[in-house]
Amino acid sequence: MANAGKLAVEREGVSLYDLIRQEIEANIMSGLWAPGHRIPYEHELMKHYDCSRMTVNRALATLVERGLIERKKRAGSFVLAPKFHRAAFELPDLRAHTLAQGKKYDFDLLEREIRPANARDRSQLDIEGGDVLHIKCVHYVDGKPFALERRIINLSLVAAARDADFERDPPNSWLFAHVPWSDARHEISAINADQDMAGNLAIREEAACLMVERWTWRAAEKNTYVQMIYPGQTFSISAEFRP
């Protein structure tokens, strides 16, 4: 972690409590500290920042309130795994979900590009600029195309994605394992396959498809935008409601 005195000089007017909170949050949001990672102990933070236990406690308590970490008595503080309870419906790790059903899973990475954010990227992620990671891949279940994924990742928040091995791990599996999120929004549309979709999903052009778009946030900033295209016969949605 950066030197607290140097940070204090660089960010005049920001309290030491905020500096501690911001630096821990940045490590979590970037994926540097994955779910389950132990946060430095309180006495380590006190020594590093040359501050009181009360200041450290206040910073950690705020991170607990935001759903970023959990504190375990006598064990320490740990980065929380991503939560699904705020999503309109769950979109689990596709690989894990498929394997849990006893089916064969595979994927094919078609495109991986780090680029300056274009107009569409800026609109989807609500950013003014910076680099994004664009990914395109096809997911297969039992050897058949199941979904076409198009994703952009905000590298200013998820810097670790620059070096992630997406030849080995599909992007949604990697993100679920490394980058917690606090909020999500889904939009679902019925569409007809264009030429690119049809070619990648082995269906005819104009075939009925379901498009699920998802935006995820950590606190007030968007981590990712993803568009999942499913052939109409491969995907269904169910939900339970109570009065």
Q: Tens digit of pLDDT for each residue in 108-124?
A: 999 999 999 999 999 99
Question: With helix as H, strand as E and coil as C, how does the chain read?
Answer: CCCHHHHHHHCCCCCHHHHHHHHHHHHHHCCCCCCCCECCCHHHHHHHHCCCHHHHHHHHHHHHHCCCEEEECCCEEEECCCCCCCCCCCCCCHHHHHHHCCCCEEEEEEEEEEEECCHHHHHHHCCCCCEEEEEEEEEEECCEEEEEEEEEEECCCCHHHHHCCCCCCCHHHHHHHHCCCCEEEEEEEEEECCHHHHHHHCCCCCCEEEEEEEEEEECCEEEEEEEEEEECCCCCCCCCCCC
Q: Which CATH architecture has domain 94-231?
A: 3-Layer(aba) Sandwich (3.40)
Low-confidence ranges of the chain (pLDDT < 70): 1-14, 82-92, 219, 236-243
Residue ranges covered by each domain of the chain: 4-79, 94-231
Q: Tens digit of pLDDT for each residue in 27-56?
A: 887 778 888 899 999 999 999 999 999 999
Q: Which CATH architecture has domain 4-79?
A: Orthogonal Bundle (1.10)
pTM, 2 dp: 0.66
